[in-house]
Amino acid sequence: MRILKKSSLAGFVLLILSLSCASHMAAAEDCWIGTWVSAQQLTEPRNLPPAPGLSNNTLRQVIRVTLGGSQLRVQLSNAYGSSPVTINAAHLAVSTGGSAIDPATDRALTFGGASSITIQAGQAVYSDTLNFDVIPLSNLAVSIYFGQTSADVTGHPGSRTTSYIQSGNAVTATDMASAVKTDHWYILSGIDLWLDDSYACVVTLGDSITDGRGSTTNGNNRWPDNLARRLQADPNTAKIGVLNQGIGGNAVVSGGLGPTALKRFDHDVLGQNGVRWVIILEGVNDIGGSRSPKVATDLIAVYEQFIEKAHAKDILVYGVPILPFGGSFYDSKNHEAARQEVNKWIRTSDKFDAVIDLDAAVRDPENPNRLLLEYDTGDHLHLNVAGYQKMAEAIDLDLFK
C-alpha cells in the first residue's frame, strides 16, 4: 500500500494540540480523551427496541473500549428523540461475556450527584466522573433502567453487538438469562477517560464499511477494531484510541441513512474529546445512489470543507480512496467513472495530510474495479473479516507516532 505524506507532516504533528487538552508546550495536564463512541442517528422503525421495549425496563449494552484508565464518564444521548427520556438508574461493570457481568466491579453512575436524570429531547448528558479501572481493549457493560422514553429512539442500529432488554429493574443483575436480545445500541453514545494529554485518539468517519457490515457479531473485528489492536500492540502508539464513527448506509452530501457526514462532521469529529487525527473513508453511497454527473465534484467540495474545518482545530486529516464496487448493485460505467474521479483527487490533490490507499490494499489486481475475492462478502461491496483485517494491516502506524 502506498501512503503519500506532505513533507511538513512530521513537524506539523509536533505542533498538534488536543481539542480538550492544554498545550503540549507546558507540562502534561489531565483532560478527557475518548475511548469509545457510537455514531448516533434516529433509529429506523425496523430497528427499534423489541418488546418489552425500553420504558420501565433495563437495557444492558456491551462495548469494547480502546484506551485504558482509572477515571471515566459515560455519555447518554436523546439527540433524535421527540420527548424526554428518563434514566432511573445506570450502572457500569466489567463484562464477562453475553449479558453477564463481574458483580465485584459493578458501580452506579450518577448525574450531578443524583442516581436518576431526565434527558430532554435533542440533548445529551454526561455522567459524573467515576473511579473505575479500565483495561485497554476490554469489554464493559452499561446497564440502564429507564423510566419513560421517547417513541423516537436515538441509537446506533449497526452495533454488530448484542444488547439485552430485561423487564423491570435489573441494573445490578449478574446475568440476564431471560432477557430479550437485540443487535443494536440505544441511547449510549460515548465513554471518555480522564488521562494526561500525551494520550489522543483517531476518528474513523465512514459508512457501513467502517461500521463493520460483514464483520462478526460480538467479534469486534471491524477494521477500526483491528486498527485499535495494532495501535495498542506498538509501544509507540499505545496511547492512541480509536473512535468509530461509521453509520451503515450513510452518505456524505445527501441521501443515505442517518444524518449525512456533512451534517454530523462537527459533532462526530470536531466535537469528540482528544482527537488529533481523522480518517475519512466515505462516498460510495453518494456515488451508488446518484444519477447526477456532479456527484464527484460535490463529494470533493465537501472533503475540502472537512479538511479546512479539521485543520482549524489542529486535526490531521487522512483520506482513503473509495473502495471497489464492481459487480455490486452500485456498479455502472458512470458510477465507476465518478469513483475514479474522486480517487484521483484524493491521491493527487495534496489536500489531505496523508493518503491511506486501502483501495490498493483490497482490490483485485487483475480486475481493479472489484474487491479481491478473498475479501468479498459476496455482495461485491462489503468486506469480510479477512478484508477488514487486511485494511487495518495496510495502515502505516508511523502516521500516528
pLDDT by residue (tens digit) across 18-46? Answer: 334 543 334 578 999 999 999 999 999 99
From the list 51, 110, 112, 124, the residue with the least C-alpha distance to 81 is 124
Does the pTM exceed 0.85? yes
CA–CA–CA angle 207, 208, 212 (5° rounding): 125
The pLDDT of residue 21 is 54
Q: With 60 as the cut, is the pLDDT of residue 15 above it?
A: no
Using the structure block, give the residue that is written with the C-alpha cell 442517518: 258
Rounded to an integer, the average pLDDT of 50-77 is 98
Q: Distance between CA atoms of 388 and 382, rounded to whole angstroms? A: 10
Q: Taking a C-beta distance cutoff of 8 angstroms, is the pair 211, 153 a contact?
A: no
Q: State how far the Cα of 186 lies from the Cα of 62, in Å rounded to an integer.
A: 11
Reference 155, options 72, 243, 45, 265; nearest CA is 45
What is the rounded average pLDDT of the residues 298-314? 98
Q: pLDDT tens digit string along 336-392? A: 999 999 999 999 999 999 999 999 999 999 999 999 999 999 999 999 999 999 999
Predicted confidence (pLDDT) per residue in 2-11, tens digit:
454 443 333 3
Distance CA 205, CA 47 (A): 22
